[in-house]
């Protein structure tokens, strides 16, 4: 299972009932993973959901194993020219869901994510002069859930794996290494002139990854991730 997110075009339709609309996936856009979702990619899975009679869950930040993160359901999902548009309802009778909805309205939660599996995809070569030479064309996807998320980012699966490792206690070397690698990938750096974990000098404050992201941006992202993990109880204040 994979996860993909984008800045949501969110609109509260009925604030009293917790009903909202959000564009949770964008078509024909090459994302940071080199994926491009094509119109029609959700057609079969939406039909299957409709035939099942079950609603698509709305889950905050993919926390399937946290019942409080199951904040609502999708009332309607359709493919538009832009992407996957959902109309959903948050269960305002539940306190955690109500708090999430307030943050959605305030735009402090302004990204949506969805969980999926690739069913039909192909790798296309755009030529050596293209920004992305090889594009993963996503032509059919299996949709599992959608939901708002504080940190909409890629690499998507790595963040979920690291969260799960933290929740489990991360006692094993593999889990700890995963968390370390994720932190580095997100731009985590020690303070300039300080001492690193091996007793040596810490890394200078610069774009060592060569991805064009300044340490300032990385710092903001790190703060957002830390805030989410604290809010969800993965780490203590």
> 112 in a domain, yes or no?
yes
Q: Which of 182, 116, 106, 185 is nearest to 147 (CA)?
A: 116
Total count of domains within the chain = 2
Q: Which domain holds residue 169?
A: 158-231
Residue 24 dihedral angles phi and psi, to the nearest 5°: -100, -10
118 and 6 fall within a common domain:
yes
21 and 73 fall within a common domain:
yes
Confidence of residue 214 (pLDDT cuts 50, 70, 90): very low
82 and 147 fall within a common domain:
yes
Q: Is the pLDDT of residue 185 over 70?
A: no
> 236 in a domain, yes or no?
no
Confidence of residue 111 (pLDDT cuts 50, 70, 90): confident
69 and 141 fall within a common domain:
yes
For residue 6, the model assigns a pLDDT of 64
> 237 in a domain, yes or no?
no
Confidence of residue 143 (pLDDT cuts 50, 70, 90): very high
163 and 101 fall within a common domain:
no
> 165 in a domain, yes or no?
yes
Which of the given ranges, 34-43, 98-107, 199-208, has the highest pLDDT on average?
A: 34-43
The b/e string for 8-42 (b: 16+ C-beta within 10 A; e otherwise) is bebebeeeeebbbbbbbbbbeebbeeebbbeeebb
34 and 124 fall within a common domain:
yes
Residue 140 dihedral angles phi and psi, to the nearest 5°: -150, 130
For residue 62, the model assigns a pLDDT of 86
Say which residue, 92 or 197, is predicted with more confidence: 92
Q: Is the pLDDT of residue 206 over 50?
A: no
Q: What percent of the chain has pLDDT over 90?
A: 36
Say which residue, 125 or 139, is predicted with more confidence: 139
31 and 145 fall within a common domain:
yes
Q: Cis peptide leading into 22, omega within 30 of 0?
A: no
Mean pLDDT, to the nearest integer, of 204-224?
Answer: 45
């Amino acid at each position: 299972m994979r996860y993909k997110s984008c800045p949501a075009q969110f609109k509260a339709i009925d604030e009293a009932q917790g009903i909202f609309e959000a564009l949770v996936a964008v078509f024909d856009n090459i994302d940071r993973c080199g994926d491009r979702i094509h119109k029609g990619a959700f057609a079969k899975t939406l039909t299957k959901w409709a035939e099942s009679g079950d609603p698509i869950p709305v889950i905050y930040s993919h926390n399937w194993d946290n019942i409080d993160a199951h904040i609502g359901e999708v009332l309607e999902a359709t493919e538009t020219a832009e992407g996957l548009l959902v109309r959903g309802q948050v269960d305002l009778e539940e306190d955690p869901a109500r708090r999430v909805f307030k943050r959605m309205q305030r735009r402090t939660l302004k990204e949506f994510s969805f969980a999926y599996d690739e069913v039909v995809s192909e790798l296309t070569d755009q030529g050596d002069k293209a920004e992305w030479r090889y594009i993963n064309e996503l032509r059919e996807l299996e949709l599992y859930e959608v939901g708002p998320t504080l940190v909409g980012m890629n690499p998507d699966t790595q963040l979920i794996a690291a969260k799960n490792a933290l929740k489990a206690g991360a006692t094993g070397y593999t889990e700890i290494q995963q968390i370390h690698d994720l932190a580095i990938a997100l731009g985590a750096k020690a303070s300039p002139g300080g001492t690193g974990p091996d007793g040596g000098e810490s890394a200078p404050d610069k774009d060592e990854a060569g991805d064009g992201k300044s340490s300032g941006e990385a710092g903001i992202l790190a703060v957002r991730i830390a805030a989410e993990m604290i809010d969800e109880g993965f780490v203590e204040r």
